[in-house]
Amino acid sequence: MSPQPVRSRLVDRWPRLWALWAASRPSQVVLVVLVYLLGTGMSTAGPPLVAGPASATSLSDTIDPAFASRVLVGAVVLLPVTVTIHYANEYADADTDALTDRTPFSGGSGALARTELPRSFLRLATVVGFCVSVVAIAAVAVTGRVPPAAAGLLVVTLLAGLAYSLPPVALVRRGVGELVNATLGGVALPVYGVAVVARPTVAAALATVPFAAVVGCNLLATHWPDRRADERVGKRTLAVRWSPGRIRRAYVALVALAALTTAVLWVSGVLPGLVAAAHLSALLFLVWGRAAVTRQRSPLPSVLAMVVLALAVTVAWWGVGVGP
């Protein structure tokens, strides 16, 4: 049985449940968890990324109940924050998503259009998600299940994530959304993963810069297909503000930033050799992405660059931290 009839029946029988599922953007939630695990893997490497000893120094440490429990709790409390930010983005972008032609990576989830539910449905979902997120963060902070620094990062991520989409701030409509998104997903998220199980240092944040730069490349590519619809509703992303040539130059600059910072961090001892080498996994996809950005609608090459890099670097950090 094909997925389409099954999906149609789910939409017809439980349109609200399906809309909540689709608007949560499950594939992106999986990526968020992967980048969180990237951060927890960084915590196992020890100095200079963390203050004090590594949070795990062997495979047996990673399956220790206390360590595993903290990693699990950190992931669980991250989920409502992530879903709430996605609901807010779907609610705020209902106007532009209704005008654009979706790709698998841009144009929103299509939850409202598919179910014909009112936009207010996702506004309520955002409010409920925000309340659940606040209660969850407060609970793990008060009980000490995650350190105060990790709880604080979640609060900042939640508020900045909502400000990214929602008025009156709506950072994505003011030309700074790409920077905010890359910082949250490329820096704050992995550092949160470190903070759940260890005390991150400035070096930990610096170690995420190459990945954040690739996230920026992905954002330039994924915003491009929606530029006409965004312009019509006053959503002034960089794809709307900048010419195709300037976007391509910015893409190259971000690739150069990722390459240069990887080399500097490796030479300075912040990135182990295995982790630095893992960054090469995105190179071919970034070259493909540079050739495709602004020239084709699909941001697939840049999406693959980000996902492959996240996976490769996660495996590398865990390999360095708890390997033989």
265 φ, ψ to 5°?
-65, -30
Q: Which of 77, 46, 45, 227 is nearest to 147 (CA)?
A: 77
What whole-number distance in Å separates Cα of residue 261 and Cα of residue 206? 9
Q: Which residues of the chain have pLDDT under 50?
A: 1-2
Which pLDDT belongs to residue 100?
A: 84
- 314 near 38, Cβ under 8 Å? yes
What global pTM score does this model have?
0.93
Which pLDDT belongs to residue 71?
A: 95
- 316 near 278, Cβ under 8 Å? yes
Which pLDDT belongs to residue 7?
A: 58
- 116 near 11, Cβ under 8 Å? no
The DSSP string of 57-126 is SSHHHHTSHHHHHHHHHHHHHHHHHHHHHHHHHHHHTHHHHTTSPPBTTBS---HHHHHT--HHHHHHHH
Which pLDDT belongs to residue 1?
A: 45
Which pLDDT belongs to residue 3?
A: 55
Local structure of 93: helix, strand or coil = coil
What whole-number distance in Å separates Cα of residue 233 and Cα of residue 167? 13
The 10s digit of each residue's pLDDT in 124-135 is 999 999 999 999
265 sits in which H/E element: helix 244-267
Which pLDDT belongs to residue 10?
A: 67
Q: Which of 161, 220, 165 is nearest to 185 (CA)?
A: 161
248 sits in which H/E element: helix 244-267
Residue 40, both tokens: 């927890």
What whole-number distance in Å separates Cα of residue 259 and Cα of residue 37? 23
Which pLDDT belongs to residue 122?
A: 96
Which pLDDT belongs to residue 322?
A: 76
